[in-house]
Amino acid sequence: MTDWAEKFTGIQLQKAYKPVMDHNPVMTQRFGADPYALVYDGRVYLYMTGDHLTYDASGALTDNNYGDIRTINVISSADLVNWTDHGSVYAASEQGAAKWGGNSWAPAAAYKNIDGKDRFFLYFANSGNGIAVLTADSPVGPFTDPIGKALISRQTPTCGEVTWLFDPAVLMDEDGSAYIYFGGGVPSPEKAADPGTARVAKLGADMISLEGDPVPIENVKYLFEDSGINRMGDTYYYSYCSNFSMTEEARKELGFSDGEIVIMKSDSPMGPFETVRGVLRNPGSFFGRGGNNHHCIFCFEGTWYIAYHARLLEEAMDLTGGYRSTNIDLLRFDAEGVPAASAGTKSGVEQVGHLDPFAVTPAVTMATGAGVDTRPYGETAETFGSGDMALTGIGDGSWTCIIGADFGEGASSVTFEAVGEGSGAIRISQDTPTGKVLGIIPVESPGKEAKKITGNLNESISGVHNLFFTFVGEGYELLSWQFAK
């Protein structure tokens, strides 16, 4: 019998792409750009453009050109620190839900109770030429195309002249009505100060049609892209990214700069809106690597946050190519309660509550990790790209981390669910990767069907602690874990 404890002696931990206590970027196993947050049933779901590394014919890394992005990455969290990977929605192309579409950029998500059942709606841009909508019975899918064509196209009234017909955002108002915001681009250099390419339309009650024609959002100063919309009290805040053609005089007059997230306000969801201020400078001003700036603002457990993308993961991988990953930071407010200039950080936000280790937790839940990957598990997820996921790519010294698990009065055992023909072991450590070893659980060829493996801990663990799962061996995958008293 293999002495798995011996296998951990002197093991070299694989290197993570972010320090354990840094919470940005929120995910390191994949890229994820243009984040959009949906708060549902005590969790925040993030939907992100599926950036992925691309290479030329010689195998050299190329710059991110966005042309072959056809997936939308989905993760969720109940505490904004430990994130569960739900996979990548196959959104566009013949392999995706919207078979008529070529790309899936800049998603937006919403849900609505229709005929007594919550329905979920995922909107995305088909490159710069229209907006698609997908539907599902769950925030993680499977998503399907209910109309078989674009919801908004260049044939939609007032939209043919929009330079970039993309970047949707959706407002679910308190009276049950819904609105979609989209558009961007600068028609010509002379129109940089007021491009006139932002639009808003009321959505139909079914969320997959328009109730009336889209109308221009007037006086969006130096618009570039990236619609956002939020209601705070009785005020509607429209937000966007400014373009890169601002004059110094305009910067001084308006109080914001190139590539900055700017907010406008109105007492009506369809405007007119008036400019307020910039709320998030270009990520290059915080992290050194600039690029486009894309955001969403959301409220969770009574606190407002701003999610945006930067190039931290790309930099940690020692790559250059404009590949983006998602961060979350606090949205700041002035003394009057109006959103104000916020800061991008690597540390991110504080944990909201603690993780319950006695609940069945997907193994693809982590605050950070190293040397691991994820893949769709089961026929539905494999067909549609999102849903149940397996932790895969396991090898010697790979690991994952959970921040702030609350064990209460104590746990004495743990059960893992595993699949695969390989073998190895899982070392469970408390607080740090090399901290107190709570147990080493062998995984001996679990097989093609999911198998539960239960092991006793060396000693009970109680109170709030970080957890580290370190792996040796290969050829096995993990589906879930759960501690017991």
Q: Kindly name the residue from 34, 85, 314, 417 that is annotated as catalytic.
A: 34
**Quick check: helix, strand or coil at residue 377?**
coil
DSSP 309-370: EESHHHHHTT--S---EEEEEEPPB-TTS-B--B---SS-----S-B-TTS-EETTEESEEE
- Distance of alpha carbon 204 from alpha carbon 201, whole angstroms: 9
Number of helices (H), then strands (E), in the chain: 5, 30
- 173 catalytic, yes or no? no
Nearest Cα residue to 275 out of 261, 286, 287: 261
The one catalytic residue in 79, 85, 167, 225 is 225
Residue 475 region by backbone torsions, left for phi larger than 0, else alpha for psi between -120 and 50, else beta = left
Q: Which residues pair with 325 in a beta bridge?
A: 310
- Region of 330 (left: φ > 0; alpha: ψ -120 to 50; beta: rest) is beta
Residues in the chain: 485
Amino acid at position 358, single letter = F
Interatomic CA distance for residues 103 and 127, integer angstroms? 5
**CA torsion angle 254 256 257 261 (round to 10):** -130
236 touches 266 (CB < 8 A):
yes
Is residue 34 among the annotated active site residues? yes
User: Known catalytic residues?
Assistant: 34, 225
